[in-house]
A = this chain, B = another copy of it.
């Protein structure tokens, strides 16, 4: 149902506050208006565009700093990080990430997002992947945003091996899952 402008803008603000990573396209569909209308609404309400919102959330949410590699070597934008516990990143699938023929995202980019997040979550200067068991559960298309969630499942005190589970989603759909066995130089957490 279409709403009047005032009501729509109120709900728009509410929606973006609740789900800051919603795109203008998704908002346009939700409120049954054009993307242009959403952009004008955001302008009037002084709500920054998605990319800016992601950055803002990133700055606010990062409890810790990535230790194992420079932040710009993580594939995707890290928006949440708690070392040796969990991490979240967002990766936008662009033209250079898909097969030219069918616009399906190439597997190694989804792998790169998940693997670099598994490295980033480790509370150590040195973190390397030793093994991984991965599944591609749904094709990802150009233009979709992949949200990766890493959870540290196990840290072995003896040999420093750390198991990181990573699940990646487009909306609520699981598109990739991986279990990464990581090697680290030291075990900082007991």
Contacts and interface: CB of A to CB of B under 8 A. Distances in A.
Interface stretch (A8-16, A36-44, A110-118, A141-149): A110-118
B139 A130 contact: no
Given A107-B115, A108-B115, A116-B108, A101 B69 contact: yes
A72 to B, nearest CB: 9
A45 interface: no
Nearest to A104: B128
Given A108-B111, A115-B108, A134 B135 contact: no
A69 B99 CA distance: 7
Given A69-B99, A75-B108, A108-B111, A130 B126 contact: no
A111 B115 contact: yes
Interface string A92-108: 00000001111010111
Contacts of A104: 128
Interface residues of A, number: 28
A186 interface: no
Contact of A136 (B75, B125, B128): B128
Given A108-B111, A134-B134, 18 more contacts: A69-B101, A73-B100, A73-B106, A75-B108, A101-B125, A106-B116, A107-B128, A108-B108, A108-B112, A111-B115, A128-B136, A129-B136, A130-B135, A130-B136, A131-B134, A131-B136, A132-B133, A133-B133
28 contacts: A69-B99, A69-B100, A73-B100, A73-B106, A75-B108, A101-B125, A102-B126, A106-B112, A106-B116, A107-B115, A107-B128, A107-B129, A107-B132, A108-B108, A108-B112, A108-B115, A111-B111, A112-B112, A128-B136, A128-B139, A129-B136, A130-B135, A131-B133, A131-B134, A132-B133, A133-B133, A133-B134, A134-B134
